[in-house]
Amino acid sequence: MSHFIRLNDGNQLPWIAFGTGTEWYRKDVSKPIQMAIENGFTHLDTAQIYGNEESVGRGIRAAGKPRSHLYITTKFAELQPGQTAKTALRLSLRKLGVDYVDSYLVHSPKNHSGKLQQVWKDMEECKREGLARSIGVSNFGVDELDEVLAVAAIPPAVNQIQLHPYLWKSAQPVIQLHEEHDIVTSSYGGLSPLFRLPGGPVDAAVKQIRARLERTRGAPVSEGQVLIKWLKQNGVLVVTTTSKAERVREYLDTANVPDLTDEEMALIEAKGSERH
């Protein structure tokens, strides 16, 4: 299975990203970013609203990896008076200390009610000028995607949404729209059944599958790897994070874990549909 996902604009991106939201919100992430890069992550996911783009830039420089070997995603949320998606991106580029980002996303449609189509035309300018190699959205539902697609000369390459087994069923309408337009589904919160919603019906299925994978592999497999593998086999881009180097290596090692069977994939989906 490829370590890259192809985008509808001809670019490709690494299948897993190190995220800097949630636990890193408005914190200095320079050391976690450096640690993630030094342990093998090349895809870094940040956002203006996280308040840590400058420290992401410091971590990148401290790691010393060439810019061309990294894939950087950022997002903009609420625009200030007189600000556009392009001017917001220029500010992010200065904070990150780079000349371009690989992906630039509209963080949430709720910040641009009635203005989404104009915002998207501004996003297309960012791509045409080379400030962003690819453009996309985040937290968009079917209606918001349809609004953008109605005027898009360049369709969104990615839609990053909260996604895990307990949300899989409810996410099907937007995932089907993604498939129709070759939009990559990017996920955050993919490990929520283990860390935020433990004790649910997915737990037993994950334990059962983990045991089978360990027997097949002849080496340890974690429950987190089972869920990450489930997302990966569904063609989903995984955004996750950790403060531990060993967990970083574990997440990346998921690519080497044997595939789940069709029956195991369906079992996680079925158990996920029992709780929302």
Instruction: Map residue 149 onto helix, strand or coil.
Output: helix
Amino acid at 275: R
Active site residue 107: yes
Angle at the Cα of 210 (from 206 to 211), degrees rounded to 5?
120
Yes or no: say if 73 and 19 are a contact pair by the CB < 8 Å rule.
no
Q: What is the CA radius of gyration of the chain?
A: 18
Helix (H, G, I), strand (E, B) or coil at 71: strand
User: And the tokens for 244?
Assistant: 């531990």
Q: 262-272 vs 223-233: helix axis angle to the nearest 10?
A: 100
Check: CB of residue 60 under 8 Å from CB of residue 37.
Answer: yes
Residue of 208, 203, 269 lying closest to 234 (CA atoms): 269
Distance CA 160, CA 56 (A): 20
Burial 7-23 (b: 16+ CB within 10 A, else e): bbbeebbbbbbbbbbee
For 237, phi and psi rounded to 5 degrees? -75, 130
Residue 181 among the catalytic residues: no
Q: Which of 43, 50, 188, 251 is catalytic?
A: 50
Cβ neighbors of 111 (< 8 A, separation 6 or more) are 77, 78, 79
**Residue from 107, 112, 164, 178 carrying the catalytic annotation:** 107
Place of tokens 């890193």: 24
Instruction: Say which DSSP state 259 is in.
Output: P
- Active site positions, annotated: 50, 107
